[in-house]
Amino acid sequence: MRIAVVGLGHIGLPLAVQYAGRGHEVTGADINPSIVEALGAGRSPHLDEQALVDRVPGLVAAGRLRATTDTGEAVRGAEVVVVIVPVVVDAAREIDFGPIDAATADIGAALQRGTLVIYETTLPVGTTRNRFGPMLARASGLALDDDFFLAFSPERVLVGRVFLDLRRYPKIVGGTSEASTARAVEFYRAVLDESAEVRAVTNAETAEMTKLAETTYRDVNIALANEYARYSATRGIDVLEVIGAANSQPYSHIHLPGIAVGGHCIPVYPRLYLWNDPAATVVASARAANAAMPAYAVDLLAAAVGDRFVLRDTSGQQTLGGGRFLDLRAPARRRRPRFSSATSCASRSATAWRSTALASASVRPRHTGCWDRTGRERRPPSP
């Protein structure tokens, strides 16, 4: 099978390698020349997954994986096009469709009759059918679900362990018609490992909603844990002890509190949900609660260590309560600040701050949004 993967980022490239590793001919398209040049030289431009680094040279040498900056070139000969181009939320909380719209226009201009197009980028509900379907039809002059086929299948993997997650999490697939769904299911069964489950849902909207539901749930759950932590602090209660005890009952799955919600997914996807459902008060309140946590955590840290640290923003200007970097100038000491159990939402969820809070260093808070149902941090397993 001839496959085009549009977007060769930290998820797109592993997808291309997965497909090529199953014996298919894959052409990746990316607007970043350095990514294309690295692949042309037979090496991975991304170093966050060893399996990716190891597999790229052989697949390039075998002619099963190549890359280009010309999206049309990749699409013209493809039977299937997989799109994994970012959709971001800007500072005004507006969705920026610019990059993926541009990619869709390029795909449409080169689309051939009978091609299946699949979007894996997380999208607001209805985007695949109502935005990209018409764009592809206009640019190609082809009729959706007659001349070309369209589906949505959300990526559900974590950077650094993509190949493992492709094997162990069901691949959710929904098309704009029964024919599109069937073709997408057939595709994933051909390109994923035989042990992977491919699960068809009713339509593209159901698949889009599935991704937003599973990610927004985490944001809401963490917001609830953060509120528990803030209240517990006023009563001298160790919130981690509370969560551990509560989660011993099988119907309680409280996540851990932390310094807001890290990563590039969980803080963004609730905004994609709210774009279509602005009246969702629970989702909006949870997002606001988590957005307020960095300042709260800084206040806890300031109270604990006093004037022994200085916060600076990205320009180097001294600030307090809103700084993005913790610039610690005091002499190195091994003893950490004396956080009480009641302030554990800051002290225990930020490993870098906890272990080096009095050392001379500049540290960033780590990602704190990935927890299992028992309240323990879920670390990526080895592939």
Please identify every residue annotated as catalytic.
Answer: 211, 265
Beta-carbon contacts of residue 178 (< 8 Å; ≥ 6 apart): none
Of the candidates 229, 224, 226, the residue with the CA atom closest to the CA atom of residue 343: 229
Q: Is 81 helix (H, G, I), strand (E, B) or coil?
A: strand
Q: Are 380 and 165 in contact (CB under 8 A)?
A: no
**8 A C-beta contact, residue 1 and residue 25:** yes
Structural contact between residues 29 and 67, judged by C-beta atoms closer than 8 angstroms: yes
Phi-psi region at 198: left, alpha or beta (left = phi > 0; alpha = psi -120 to 50): beta
Q: Tokens representing 103? A: 């990619």
The span from the CA of 50 to the CA of 159, in Å, is: 11
In the chain, the largest separation of any two C-alpha atoms, in whole Å, equals 70
Q: How many Å apart are CA 120 and CA 15, to the nearest integer?
A: 10
With CA atoms as reference, report the closest residue to 76 among 36, 105, 108. 108
Question: Pseudo-torsion of CA 14, 35, 107, 204, nearest 10°?
Answer: 30
Phi, psi (degrees; rounded to nearest 5) at 128: -60, -50
Q: Identify which of 224, 288, 294, 265 has the alpha carbon closest to the alpha carbon of residue 370.
A: 265
| CA-to-CA separations, 147 to 78, 111, 141, in angstroms, rounded | 14, 10, 9
List Cα–Cα distances, 37 to 11, 75, 78, 159, in angstroms.
18, 19, 21, 22
